[in-house]
Amino acid sequence: MPTLRGTAVRWVEDDCTAGGVIEVQFADADGVVHSVIDKLPIFFTSRDDEPSRSSPYPIPCPLEIAIVEHLEGDRTAIDLRWMESITDQVRFVVRTADIET
């Protein structure tokens, strides 16, 4: 599953069912920063890797994506999986170098 390089920037709130909610940011190909706010299990597959309220933010946080189309230059159209940005957007054009496969 490909992932997009993201950064967890803050603890948003405690969540009794999922441990917590965090904000993760990533940049698109034009350098615009976007935010996703969701529960920890959306971002981390192992509870051992999950940050906590007291973790030293920012920390690396990969975002699961689906690759839609490779574009000219260092650009790729992607869809976020299992989440959307705080503006309800799921499709973005990002730098290909920020994608890990």
Question: pLDDT per residue over 61-91, tens digit each?
Answer: 999 999 999 999 999 999 999 888 889 999 9
pLDDT (tens digit per residue) in 27-47: 999 999 999 999 999 998 777
Tell me the pLDDT band of 9, cut-offs 50, 70 and 90.
very high
Owner of token pair 């993201």: 6
Owner of token pair 């007291």: 54
- Cβ-in-10-Å burial (0-12, 13-18, 19+) of 57 comes to middle
Q: Please tell me whether the overall predicted TM-score, pTM, comes out greater than 0.85 for this model.
A: yes
Q: Between the CA of residue 26 and those of 17, 19, 48, 60, 88, what are the distances in Å?
A: 26, 23, 23, 10, 15
Q: Strands, DSSP E only, in 1-101?
A: 3-4, 7-15, 19-27, 33-39, 59-60, 63-70, 75-80, 91-95, 99-100
